Amino acid sequence: MELPKQALVTTRTKRQGRELERKIRDRSAKLGVLGLGYSGLHLALEMAHSGFHVTAIDIDSAKVESLKGGVSFVTDVQNEELYSAVVGGTLRATQSFAAMELLDAISICVPTPRRTTRDADLSYLLAGVEAVHNHLTPGKLVIIESTISPGTTRDTVLPILQKSGRQVGRDFFLAYSPKPRHFGTPMTRDITKVIGGMSPRCAALADLLYQQFGKRTIQVSSLESAEMVKFMETTFRSVNSALANEMATLCSKFGVDIWEVIEAAKFTPFEFMPIDPGPGTGQGQRNCTALSNLSGISRMNGFKPLLVEIAELVNSQLPAMTSSRIADVLSKNQKSINGSHILALGIAQTRDGHDVRESLSLEILKSLHEKGAIVTYSDPHVLSIDLNRTTLRSIEITPSVLSDTDCVLILTDHSAFDYRAIVANSRLVLDCRNALRRQRGDNIVAV
């Protein structure tokens, strides 16, 4: 007796799902990561170290060739661990999208940077999803990790994958998991992965996959819930950073030490979560793309997120406020900012990190440069930057460099800096990170 067509489809879907589940459990599934940025490389390495054969795909030939040679282009990924995965055959790199044909699962980690119109540039994501569609084989699991607005996976990604007639849940599986933020931690294995699927089966397969390489996971009820988690986390950090920075300004007006206030507030009986003030949002980093997207989609749905927009406004003023504060301190030391030599320590967004995307430290240096300051910088994790159409290279910190500088500005408190030597050899040190809390000196000014 011939089975009805729907019964055949259901049977085939279950078979494909069971086969993918088996491959994931016995580590025979061939995995792929599209986009070799900070998160993509970490994810690919975690997969490879867990015994999977991983194909890393990126259009950037320099990254691909570097990975092939076992040379890391991410600060906290050591050459040794990358080289062992490449030589061991568990990790390979390619520029060819055709490599997706043989993969059982592909995680898309391409960037979605902010455009001048303040919304997200989805061009990299759309190109990546189009490539996946062109090589979409039966039973493939597709996981989106790029930062996108709630509804994007369902309304934008899914139609591309289904445009040739393939159906999610029947011919392929689709899930979303926000990529973790990195705060200088060497690995992300201890960060819980949030997972939302197009269907419960899609979510379950993605959940199972991430569990195989040591992830704690939590499933939410929908794609949109998973997408919103990123915005919740980013907004929470932005709002609290804005509060910390406004309190720092207020404390300055009253001649109060903000760091002492924060330290004391930790011991109050209510739940207080300290976020340090400084020249940036959330330990020197902001995610304007996520916040701008959230504001945009909220307004499209008839809601104005006042708290989110005010927090972003407060934090966007920090570079100008910091450079003005520097000018005031120099003036009190009989120096004009115009012509003063300022050495900035730390350009990366986070302590011991290398990422400078949307780093407010760059904005501060641009402001100082525009005011006539002679700007140099030192950062062991960022070898060069573009400043007002000029390329600057990180310089070595020596006693003579410090003594010849009018003002040393600590923007990111990397652990590699010798703060005792910095204070001992500098005329004036402006500390934006409370890095010198254990140091004493008449030349130290907290900003």
Sheet with strand 140-144: strands edge to edge:
91-94, 53-57, 30-34, 105-108, 140-144, 172-176, 193-197, 217-219
The residues, any chain, with a CB within 8 Å of residue 395's CB and separated by 6 or more, are 343, 376, 377, 378, 401
Cα(283)–Cα(273) distance, integer angstroms: 13
Cα(63)–Cα(102) distance, integer angstroms: 22
Where in the sequence numbering do the catalytic residues fall? 288
Locus of tokens 């691909």: 64
Whether the Cβ atoms of residue 109 and residue 33 lie closer than 8 Å to each other:
yes
**∠ CA(23), CA(27), CA(29), 5° rounding?**
50
**Looking at the chain, how many residues does it have?**
447
Helix, coil or strand: residue 253: helix
Q: What is the DSSP letter of 180?
A: P
Burial bucket for residue 196 (CB in 10 Å: 0-12, 13-18, 19+): buried
The residues, any chain, with a CB within 8 Å of residue 27's CB and separated by 6 or more, are 50, 51, 52, 212
Tokens of 129: 């999803």
Whether the Cβ atoms of residue 103 and residue 141 lie closer than 8 Å to each other:
no
Q: Hey, which residues does 33 pair with through a beta bridge?
A: 56, 107
User: Residue 121 CB: number of other CB atoms within 10 A?
Assistant: 15
Tell me which residue of 142, 121, 105, 110 sits closest to 28, measured CA to CA.
105
Sheet with strand 429-431: strands edge to edge:
374-378, 341-345, 407-410, 429-431, 444-446
- Please give the full DSSP string across 21-77, using - where no structure is assigned: HHHHHTT--EEEEE--SHHHHHHHHHHHHTT-EEEEE-S-HHHHHHHHTT---STTS
Which amino acid, residue 407? C
Cα(156)–Cα(122) distance, integer angstroms: 10
Cα(235)–Cα(275) distance, integer angstroms: 13
The distance from CA 48 to its chain's CA centroid, rounded to whole angstroms, is: 21
